[in-house]
Amino acid sequence: MPEQHPVRIGDTQVTTADSTVVLSPYDGHEVARIPACGPEQVEQAVAAARAAMADPLPPWRRAAILDAAAAAVADHRDELAQIIAEEAAKPIRTARTEAERAVLTFQSAAVEARTLTGDVVPIDGAQPGDGKLAFTLRVPRGVVAAISPFNFPLNLVAHKLAPAIAAGCAVVLKPASQTPMSAIRLHEILMDECGLPAGWINVVTGSGGTVGDPLVEHPDVAVVTFTGSPEVGWAIAAKAARKKVGLELGNNAPLIIDASGDWEAAAAKVSVAGYSHAGQSCISTQRVYVHRSVVDDFTAALVARVEALVVGDPLDEATDVSALISPGETARVKAWIDDAVRDGARLATGGEQRDRLLTPTVLTGITPTMEVSANEVFGPVVGIAAFDHLDEALALANDTRYGLQAAIFTAELDGALRAAHELDFGGVLVNEVPTFRTDQMPYGGIGDSGNTKEGPHYAVREMTHERLVVIAR
Ligand code: NAP
């Protein structure tokens, strides 16, 4: 039987009597065996994190660790991409891009560590402040509990660890049970090659209920940073009422293509943005509202590109789209496609299940009540609907419980400005797909998409509080 791959808590390599088996979503082979942690390991990890914070890391050391992390992740790019591809069924070229993005995440966190500062407060602008000097200091809030999803098992972990290091907070990380190996390997690299002292990051692997609950409820945890589904995220926020809780949740990202918009450019981008990692991205382009005058041209261009996507083994360099994270998810998405067709949508291409693979799908004539429109598909499916007036398209895009990112293709300044002002989302993109993200930008949503912004500059501010200092003569 293969050996259990340990996790590290403090300076201890931890294994447990029981193992959790990590399986390939593509062909079901065993990827690794990892510890099945429980409340005992959570206790140990939170204690190690608290102990680490008793000996604070000065900002220049945090910056040096983050610089080293960026360089080390770049050096290990191919190894990390291989792990991502195997455990998440993310096509290898897309997995490499994820590893490259993690480099940028560490680089921009290093900038934050070097420049994090408070403000000078104009305290003598009011008479009681006369003769006094006031300023704020950015102080680490305390131990961070980081909980990450399966779909970006490296870079979304980096988006939690890197700002925490920049902020001076120690972390207990619980990676997704389906994809823990990228996080475990990153942690090893940080400790062995980047000068991160023991206890600053601790990894506990185990299910949400067994490990997640004691972690978010632990009295010595000050911050919870969570990326995942709204159902789990809001339940965590309810359990952690006295903690700072940052939630990055789901979306059913809309894109509007106005009559003046470059529909050919849009089709080229959507053929990637709707299908990358089989649509399992929180900003996967899902609902496309196209002006009636160009809807047939856009649909034909998109279908031609989607039919050229290569579906198969994630480790094959040619593959564009591989398996969904589990057979259950494949069956769910397939059922949503079938329901949409039963309710009047037309299957323009795809919709075919081949064992664990689902062929990239384009539906036309979607309506707001269909699951593929109203909820987050998290699968390789793009739905199209035609509109006549921009008012109608803006209303359709806004008709959602989510609010992460939305986008418009238009050549009209008026259309761009209306989208910027009227699309009720955390981010609005013009002549780009809603799937666009770079790692330093403020990224986060409203409504059921969450309550915070990630990107190291913003996350560091969530993980620190501002202490006011007033000095009187
Ligand atoms: P999920 O099922 O909500 O799981 C996310 C994480 O929460 C996993 O580590 C999971 O652990 C853990 N968890 C489950 N129950 C828990 C509990 N009671 N207490 C604490 N932790 C618990 O989400 P997922 O399926 O991995 O990811 C897909 C979702 O993430 C989608 O909705 C997607 O839109 C969203 N997402 C959002 C962003 C963003 O930045 N806004 C980015 C990526 C993904 P187990 O794995 O052990 O169950």
What's the CA-to-centroid distance between 409 and ligand 1, angstroms?
Answer: 31
In three-state secondary structure terms, 191 is: helix
Q: Averaged over 446-473, what is the pLDDT?
A: 98
For residues 343-355, one letter each, b for 16 or more C-beta atoms within 10 angstroms of the residue's C-beta and e for the rest, the string is eebeebbbbebee
Give tens-digit pLDDT for 105-141: 999 999 999 999 999 999 999 999 999 999 999 999 9
**pLDDT band at residue 100 under the 50/70/90 scheme:** very high
Helix (H, G, I), strand (E, B) or coil at 262: coil
The answer to whether 309 touches 360, Cβ cutoff 8 Å, is yes
Check whether 32 has a pLDDT greater than 90. yes
Nearest to 79 by CA among 171, 176, 193, 178: 193
In the Cβ-directed half-sphere of 117, how many Cα atoms lie within 13 Å?
A: 8
Question: CA angle, corner 213, sides to 207 and 217, nearest 5?
Answer: 155
Mutating to test ligand 1, I would choose from 101, 232, 247 the residue with most ligand atoms within 8 A of its C-beta, which is 232
CA-nearest of 251, 218, 248 to 376 is: 251
pLDDT tens by residue, 427-453: 999 999 999 999 999 999 999 999 999
Q: Which two tokens stand for residue 399?
A: 């008709």
What's the rounded Cα separation, in Å, for the pair 8 and 20?
16
Q: Using the 8-state DSSP alphabet, how is residue 447 labeled?
A: G
* Dihedrals phi, psi of 405, to nearest 5 degrees: -140, 145
Tens of pLDDT, residues 312-322: 999 999 999 99
| Residue (of 187, 150, 133, 136) closest to 165 by Cα position | 187
Q: Give the tens place of pLDDT for each residue, 207-245.
A: 999 999 999 999 999 999 999 999 999 999 999 999 999
pLDDT at residue 63 in the model: 98
What average pLDDT score do residues 53-81 get? Answer: 98
Is ligand 1 within 6 A of the CB of residue 228?
A: yes
Residue 87: helix, strand or coil by DSSP?
helix
Residue 365 has pLDDT above 90, yes or no: yes
Which amino acid, residue 468? L
Q: Which helix (H) or strand (E) holds 32?
A: strand 30-35
- Rounded to a whole number of angstroms, the CA Rg of the chain reads 23
The pLDDT tens digits of the residues spanning 281-311 come to: 999 999 999 999 999 999 999 999 999 999 9
**CB distance 200 to 48 below 8 Å:** no
Average pLDDT, the chain: 98
Q: Tokens 């789209």, residue?
A: 321
Looking from the CA of residue 152, the nearest atom of ligand 1 is 43
The helix (H) or strand (E) run that includes residue 92 is helix 92-115
Residue-wise pLDDT for 176-210, tens only, equals 999 999 999 999 999 999 999 999 999 999 999 99
Instruction: Please work out, in degrees rounded to the nearest 5, the angle formed at the alpha carbon of residue 444 by the alpha carbons of 99 and 98.
Output: 10
Q: Tell me which residue has its CA closest to atom 43 in ligand 1.
A: 282
pLDDT in the model for residue 38: 97
Q: Is 126 exposed, middle or buried (0-12, 13-18, 19+ CB in 10 A)?
A: exposed
* Protein residue with its CA nearest to atom 9 in ligand 1: 176
Q: Is 424 in the pocket of ligand 1 (CB under 6 A)?
A: no
The rounded distance, in Å, linking the Cα atoms of 165 and 171 is 8
Pocket mutation for ligand 1, best pick of 151, 179, 439, 454 (most atoms within 8 Å of C-beta): 151
pTM listed for this prediction: 0.97
Percent of the chain at pLDDT exceeding 90? 99
pLDDT score of 1: 62
Residue 342 CB coordination number (10 Å): 9
pLDDT confidence of residue 89: 98
Helices (H) and strands (E) counted in the chain, each on its own, are 15, 21
CB-based contacts of 53: which residues, under 8 Å, 6+ apart?
140, 142, 143, 168, 169, 170
Q: Is the C-beta atom of 203 inside 6 A of ligand 1? A: no
Q: Kindly state if the Cβ of 290 falls inside 6 Å of ligand 1.
A: no
Query: Reduced to 3 states, what is the DSSP secondary structure of residue 90?
Result: coil
Q: What pLDDT is stored for residue 2 in this prediction?
A: 72
Kindly give the distance from the C-alpha atom of residue 175 to the centroid of ligand 1, in angstroms, as a whole number.
9
- pLDDT band (50, 70, 90) for residue 269: very high
* Distance in angstroms (rounded) separating the CA atoms of residues 194 and 380: 38
Share of the chain above pLDDT 70, in %: 100
**SS3 (DSSP) at 435:** coil
CB 401 within 8 A of CB 373: no
Report the C-alpha gap between 203 and 208 in whole angstroms. Answer: 14
